[in-house]
Structure 1
Amino acid sequence: MPSTRICKLTLTDFRNYTSLSLDLRPGAVVFTGENGAGKTNLLEAISFLTPGRGLRRAPYPDVAREGSSGAFAVHAAIEGPFGDAEIGTGTAPEAGEAGRRVRINGANAKSADELLEWLRVVWLTPSMDSLFTGSASDRRRFLDRLVLAIDPAHGQRALDYEKAMRGRNRLLAEDRRDRAWFEAIETQMAETGAAIAAARVEMVRLLTAMIGRLPETGPFPQAELALSGTLEESIGDIPAVDLEERFRQALAQGRERDRAAGRTLEGPHRSDLVVRHRPKSMPAELCSTGEQKALLVGIVVSHARLTGEMAGAAPILLLDEIAAHLDAGRRAALFSILEDLNCQAFMTGTEPALFSSLAGKAQFLTVDHGSVRPTEDD
């Protein structure tokens, strides 16, 4: 499977890194070091090479190194089937929360969505261990990132929907009764909301088929995926134009209810991703912590394979503290899958021994509070 890889990564005033330049190999790259050394910061920097707020979703001023001007920069030289590129992103001191800039091959990008023309990045972090037991909003965000890797237009649809919904909520809060204004906003919400729901349903369909290729009795159990939501549950039953109209009517009829609630109570922003452990026929949230982690890994690697087949190149994977939460058998199985995917996978851990089966195959780098060096015996 073709893959995109980062050849060189350069950071300036990013978290605890004043200035850093790394030459990176294809395949697995392992960052090791003590807790707090800055391993996850490196993964976060790479996560800014895709649209969004990065794997920590931190305010941009918090990403800039303490004591710096308040700005940060990430630069990457990449190679892949879509061509070679120089990608830069960061903020200016005066930008604050206004956003970050993106440059591709020296030219300003119109939006961060242009990054998806060059590479896709997917991550798995310890904070996601509670995905199945946490809030529905976390699962929606997870699903939408999976969709974005396949359907680059999904991000803009989500932004447009959120903007329209905020406008509607503001009208409700201010007790406005302007029918034409409501109708214009609700029409936009219906169009973008139905498209969001359709994209999610398609992702679940495609990903379910890919998950079905996992061994039934393997280390990463097959997950059964479904969507809970008024729009999603109607996809396929009626034409898209009728679904939009039904949602628009529901919004219009629900104005008084939503005005009393102070928010919009129906739409894709209320949907949920429902996951079950297929071999056990058990809701994921009732599985053991180890089983939940194995389910999540199975979903992510299946999605990586799906992305490779549909987008033409395997995504770059960011796997934070992945080895610490898997037993030796599952670690070996994961490393084998990553090798088969032929993707560049960045992993972190406190001890190189956790990645011993990758000796001679992976690039090992030691992280030490603002500096990174080749691990001895690598």
Structure 2
Amino acid sequence: MRVDWLVLGDFRSYHSLDWKPEPGVNILVGPNGAGKTNLLEAVSYLATLRSFRRAPDEALIADDTDAAIIRAGISSDDRERLIEIEIPVKGARRTQVDKQRLRRTSDLLGVLRVVAFLPEDLDLIKRGPAYRRDLLDEIAIQLWPAAYVDQAEFDRALRQRNAFLKSGHRDGTTLDVWDARVAQAGGKVALRRARVVEGMEPLLGDAYREISSSDATTGISYQSSWPSERFVGGSAAEFTDGMLSALRETRGTDYERRVTTTGPQRDEPVLELDGHDARVHGSQGEQRTMALAIKLAAHRLIAEATDSPPVLLLDDVFSELDPKRSSALAGALPGDTQTLVTSARPDEVPVVGVVWSVDGGLLRE
């Protein structure tokens, strides 16, 4: 899977760009503020329809313009696809694939897949569990595009259930309705997270040892706020039934606290190093190595499951690493993957590739 060409119009700092990246490694070099990250953000947006910086759509539109345009030719499995996105200042976003307008965001997912690594991802281990839950959900969407709909439905149902609890009403019949909706979508979310964790377990260990050059053992587990572990290996229906039972069991507590106290929104993915919680016992260097290994494991999992390696986006990562880890990461990168790397200095990137100079919204080889 690769981006054959990319056209941007009034997207962030790019008023007009027509770029043809190489199929292999592309190194984008330029001073801070030159637009390197903006370029990676545009590629990621093509795959996910959201900013990897968690910025609102209006922030992507260049100042004093009416709309941002992203167009790209995508190749995957010897098939060429065309993605076109218009993000207007006013009105709804318009998305087309092969000249056919999409009615739902989920229809785009899978046309292009990416794995992005940003500087803040190096702190993935020591940050709160919400960031690690988001990572599992992002991987799940790349593996099963239908997961996007289930996650959106779960978030919507959970907000409505919490709003009802916050109102102070104790109407069991009404809460039964919200319990069913939360459990229906939440069971699917939890099941997919469990399957992602199961698939990543062996890949994480391999990636960590490659980057660290050590024989340390790693582990990844999914600690649930409800007894979901008894349903691992089961069906979505079993997860849903289990979550429905958990919601009913904690209803009294939920009434008291006026919030939903059990479910996927309270679960915690835990990463272990030599049998200990890496968040508590790992050094900063070990935590950063683990974060890199997670992203590499995610890329390998998606590549194996889809038979098409996702595009790899590395935003200013090498400058954050010491020379030893930087060199080890370079050696662990997949060789059959289109990779876009940004850096302020080319000598900080220990990989061979085509170097592009980025400055003021302009791109030159």
Q: Please report the TM-score for the alignment, with normalisation by the length of structure 1.
A: 0.88
In 2, Cα distance between the equivalents of 1:220 and 1:348?
25
Measured after TM superposition, the shift of residue 330 of structure 1 is 3.1
Q: Contact (CA 8 Å) 2:203, 2:301: kept in 1 or not?
A: yes
Q: Contact 2:47–2:111 at 8 Å: present in 1 too?
A: no
Tell me by how many angstroms 1:108 deviates.
Answer: 0.8
Higher deviation after alignment, 45-54 or 324-333: 324-333
Match of 2:290 in 1: 295
Ranges in structure 1 where 5+ consecutive residues have no aligned partner: none
Aligned residues: 362
Alignment of 1:1-378 (within 5 A): 4-69=1-66, 71-81=67-77, 83-95=79-91, 100-214=93-207, 216=209, 218-219=211-212, 223-229=218-224, 230-236=226-232, 241-278=237-274, 281=276, 283-340=278-335, 342-355=336-349, 357-358=351-352, 362-374=353-365
Hey, what's the Cα distance between the residues in 2 that align with 1:198 and 1:92?
37
Q: 3-state SS of the aligned residue for 2:85?
A: strand
Change in 2 beyond 3 A, CA 1:141/1:242: closer
1: CA distance, partners of 2:23 / 2:98: 21
* Aligned partners of 2:85 and 2:94 also within 8 Å: yes
The answer to whether the 8 Å contact 2:150/2:185 transfers is yes
More deviation, 197-206/166-175 = 166-175
**8 Å Cα contact 2:228-2:242 kept in structure 1:** no
Indicate the SS of the match to 2:109: helix
Helix, strand or coil: the match of 1:48? helix
Distance 1:133 1:41, change over 3 A: same
SS, match of residue 16 in structure 2: strand
Question: Relative to 1, partners in 2 of residues 1:141 and 1:347: Cα closer, same or farther, differing over 3 Å?
Answer: same
**Pairwise CA distance, 1:178:** 4.2
Cα distance between partner residues in 2 of 1:231 and 1:157: 20
Given that residues 157 and 182 in structure 2 are in contact (C-alpha distance below 8 angstroms), is that contact kept between their aligned partners in structure 1? yes
State the Cα deviation string for residues 88-107 of structure 1 (Å, max 9, x = none).
12322213xx6x33210111
Query: CA separation in 2, counterparts of 1:90 and 1:223?
Result: 43
| Residue 147 of structure 1, CA deviation | 1.7
Residues 172, 255 of structure 1: 8 Å contact kept: no
Question: Matches of 2:55 and 2:305 in 1, distance apart?
Answer: 30
Of residues 15-24 and 115-124 in structure 1, the stretch that sits farther from structure 2 once superposed is 115-124
* Partner Cα distance (2:358, 2:252) in 1: 56
Shift of 1:333: 3.2
User: Post-superposition shift, 1:193?
Assistant: 1.2
Residues 57-107 of structure 1: CA deviation (Å, up to 9, x unaligned): 1011111112222x2121111112161011012322213xx6x33210111
- Measure, in 2, the Cα distance between the counterparts of 1:129 and 1:65: 29
Distance of aligned partners of 1:160 and 1:35 in 2 relative to their CA distance in 1, 3 Å threshold:
same
CA-CA distance at 1:320 after TM superposition = 0.8
What amino acid is the match of 2:347?
A: A
Distance 1:258 1:220, change over 3 A: farther
- What SS does the corresponding residue of 1:190 show, helix, strand or coil? helix
Which amino acid in structure 2 is aligned with residue 235 of structure 1? Answer: F
Provide closer, same or farther for how the CA distance between residues 158 and 282 of structure 1 changes in structure 2, counting only shifts above 3 A. closer
TM-score, scaled to structure 2: 0.91
Please give the alpha-carbon distance, in whole angstroms, between the structure 2 residues aligned to 1:169 and 1:272: 20
Q: Is the 8 A contact 2:207 2:332 kept in 1?
A: no
Q: Could you give the per-residue CA deviations for residues 175-219 of structure 1, whole angstroms, max 9, x where no partner exists? A: 344443322221121122111111111111111122244474753
Deviation at 1:158, TM superposition (A): 0.7
Listed one character per residue, the Cα deviations across residues 139-195 of structure 1 (whole Å, up to 9, x for unaligned) are 111121122221222111111111111111222223344443322221121122111
Distance 2:32 2:194 in 1: 39
What runs of 5+ residues in structure 2 fail to find an aligned partner? none
Given the superposition, is the C-alpha separation of residues 16 and 242 from structure 1 closer, same or farther in structure 2, using an over 3 Å criterion?
Answer: closer
Structure 1 residues 239 and 311 mapped into 2: Cα distance closer, same or farther (>3 Å)? closer
Secondary structure of 2:108 counterpart = helix
RMSD (Å) for aligned C-alpha atoms: 2.3
2:140–2:196 contact (8 Å) kept in structure 1: yes
> Could you say if the C-alpha distance between residues 333 and 115 of structure 1 is closer, same or farther in structure 2, counting changes exceeding 3 Å?
farther
Write the deviation string for residues 234-286 of structure 1: whole angstroms up to 9, x where unpaired.
Answer: 333877545433322332343443233232111001111111224x7452443
Is the 2:47–2:110 contact (alpha carbons within 8 Å) kept by the matching residues of 1?
Answer: no
Inter-partner Cα distance in structure 2 for 1:237 and 1:20: 48
Shift in CA distance, 228/220, structure 1 to aligned 2, threshold 3 Å:
farther
Identical positions, percent: 28
Check the 8 A contact 1:284/1:292 in 2, yes or no. Answer: yes
Letter in 2 for 1:64: I
